[in-house]
Amino acid sequence: MKWSSYLLGILAILFLASSLRATELIVATTADVVNGNTLTPDDLKRDPGPDGISLREAILACNNTPGPHTITFSQTIAGQVITPDTSLPVITQGQVAIAGIQSGDGQPAITIDARGLPIGGFSVLGSNFAVKRLRFIGLNFGG
């Protein structure tokens, strides 16, 4: 009886530890499309759609599951610009980090072009949000 309680305790700790690990999503396209499965970050990794994970898809998937989550970018899109067609989804979960990549000179290698959007950048309702190593152009703060 003691061993079964001990084993159940270990299993509970392992489950909790695995659920607390950060999920990393890697944006691999500059297209602003949703054609992958955004139900959860793990679903999006398994079914990213034909073009890979978009920034919009990554945010939607993170919004559907408690964090921590990290959204990063593939080196294959370094030096390119992401131009959202509409404002990006509001980030509603806590513990989300969006981390761009650096070019050889240490500058951000990914640009988000927010020109023409009512509110540029990221709208956040969750706590513990971080964004780093991204270049923004055309930011509009709603007024």
Paired with 98 in beta bridges are 71, 131
Average pLDDT over residues 47-74: 96
For residue 118, pLDDT over 90 is answered with no
Average pLDDT over residues 3-28: 62
C-alpha to C-alpha distance for 30 and 56, rounded to whole angstroms? 10
For residue 12, pLDDT over 60 is answered with no
C-alpha to C-alpha distance for 59 and 84, rounded to whole angstroms? 13
Q: Please state whether the predicted TM-score (pTM) of the whole model is above 0.95.
A: no
Domains of the chain, by residue range, sit at: 22-137
For residue 17, pLDDT over 50 is answered with no
Q: Which residue has the tokens 């709603």?
A: 142
Q: DSSP E strands: which ranges in 5-88?
A: 23-27, 69-73, 81-82
